[in-house]
Chains A and B, each alone.
Chain A
Amino acid sequence: MDLDSQLKLQASLDGELPEAEAREVANWLARDREAAALHTELRNTRQALVGFEIGVELPESREFFWSKIQREIHRLEPAELAPRPVPWFARLRRVLVPAAGVAFLLVAGLLTLNPAGQPASEMETADSGAFTYRDDAAGTTLVWLSYPAESEVANNSELDTIE
């Protein structure tokens, strides 16, 4: 007998088969002694277990067992219901963090605003022959260095003239 047949036999015992299949199994049991023997064994095992848990008792007294449950309930409940005390540094942090955020935004706003109507970018020529381009809006600064430096060329011209 294959496993599928054995499981079908068991399903009929447990009332898990549709009526038509249950009738088929009943017919099969009537003509197959091996199947009938297995069916009987499964049924006997099931019957042996009936009422097995009846009479099992918790090995602790009613009072002791309840006291443990009650203690656990009380231990868990205050943690959920009552707010926990907040330490002083946590309270201070609650004030300082938003204040620092506001301050940061103010400073950033002042820096990005251009109240004097100055140009957003400017170009400077340094004495050493370096050109600096600064773009405040983009926050970038570019520096060009000319080589040889213009001042150096001028100096050299002067020297040439002296010679």
Chain B
Amino acid sequence: MPAVEPMTVKDHSSADDPTLVRAAQQGDMIAFEELVARHRDKIYARAFSMMRNEDEAVDLSQEAWVKGWQRLKQFQGESSFGTWLTRIVINLCLDQLRKQKRQRTESIEAMSEESGGVERQMPVVTPNPTAGLERRELRQRIDRALNQLSHEHRTALVLHEFEEMEYKEIAKTMGCSIGTVMSRLFYARRKMAALLGDPKKQDLL
């Protein structure tokens, strides 16, 4: 790899991600700080979507950045830097969720997810319950609904809708079959539809 000229503070703020990554790979921590500043909200948002807990999301996103620094030399630029780091935080969140699952008794919901939950029998929600809602109200409803999903259902939904992964990729990331991904995604969407349609149901489902 060719040597990189030392960057000035002004250079850092105006440089693009690949330039900052190259500088950081040479040990330039100011370049890495600039990358953190640019992507920290997105990394935190992904951690929060998965964990639904602010403190855990902050801790895991911080851990992801530290791991990112340690593994920076392995980053070859096949994807964007933001995508690469997002995958790191997703894996950390999955590890954390697995640990938590081992520590608690499996919920009835988790047990029923493979055999088919109540979501499959629920009536179809029409018309579109979110049509005409203000952005703030919609966000609050989605927040509450995501809290109601099991972590397996929520993870499948987050990876598909926010990370835009294909079924095959989600299966690999979650360590399950494509069929399981499809059913988890289906139950997650059906439950979300019911919860978004009738917020009063949020404690019942």
Bind each other: yes
Question: Residues on A close to B: CB < 8 A?
Answer: 3, 6-7, 10-11, 14, 16, 34, 37-38, 40-42, 44-50, 52-53, 56-60, 62, 65-66, 68-70, 72-73, 76
Asked whether A14 lies within 8 Å of B116 as measured between CB atoms, the reply is: no
Asked whether B41 lies within 8 Å of A46 as measured between CB atoms, the reply is: no
Query: Which residues of the other chain, B, contact A52 by a CB distance below 8 angstroms?
Result: 49, 139, 142, 161-162
Query: Which residues of the other chain, A, contact B166 by a CB distance below 8 angstroms?
Result: 16
Asked whether B182 lies within 8 Å of A10 as measured between CB atoms, the reply is: yes
Tell yes or no: B48 within 8 A of A by CB. yes
Asked whether B196 lies within 8 Å of A58 as measured between CB atoms, the reply is: no
Query: Which residues of the other chain, B, contact A59 by a CB distance below 8 angstroms?
Result: 54, 58
Instruction: Point out the residue from A7, A14, A47, A68 that lies within 8 Å of B62, measured CB to CB.
Output: A68
Chain A at the B interface: SS class: helix
A102 to chain B, nearest CB (A): 42
Chain B at the A interface: SS class: helix
Asked whether B167 lies within 8 Å of A58 as measured between CB atoms, the reply is: no
Query: Which residues of the other chain, A, contact B29 by a CB distance below 8 angstroms?
Result: 70, 73
Q: Mark B157-190, 1 if CB is under 8 A from A, else 0.
A: 1001110001100000000000100110110011
Total contacts A-B at CB 8 Å? 109
- Distance in angstroms between the alpha carbons of A7 and B42 in the assembled complex: 30
Closest 5 CB pairs of A and B: A56-B45, A58-B44, A53-B45, A44-B128, A48-B130
Q: Mark B32-50, 1 if CB is under 8 A from A, else 0.
A: 0100110011101110110
Segment at the interface with A among B13-21, B65-73, B77-85, B99-107:
B65-73
Tell yes or no: B201 within 8 A of A by CB. no
Asked whether B160 lies within 8 Å of A14 as measured between CB atoms, the reply is: yes
- Distance in angstroms between the alpha carbons of A66 and B176 in the assembled complex: 35
Asked whether B125 lies within 8 Å of A41 as measured between CB atoms, the reply is: yes
Instruction: Point out the residue from A7, A37, A69 that lies within 8 Å of B65, measured CB to CB.
Output: A69
A42 to chain B, nearest CB (A): 5
Asked whether B142 lies within 8 Å of A69 as measured between CB atoms, the reply is: no
Tell yes or no: B88 within 8 A of A by CB. no
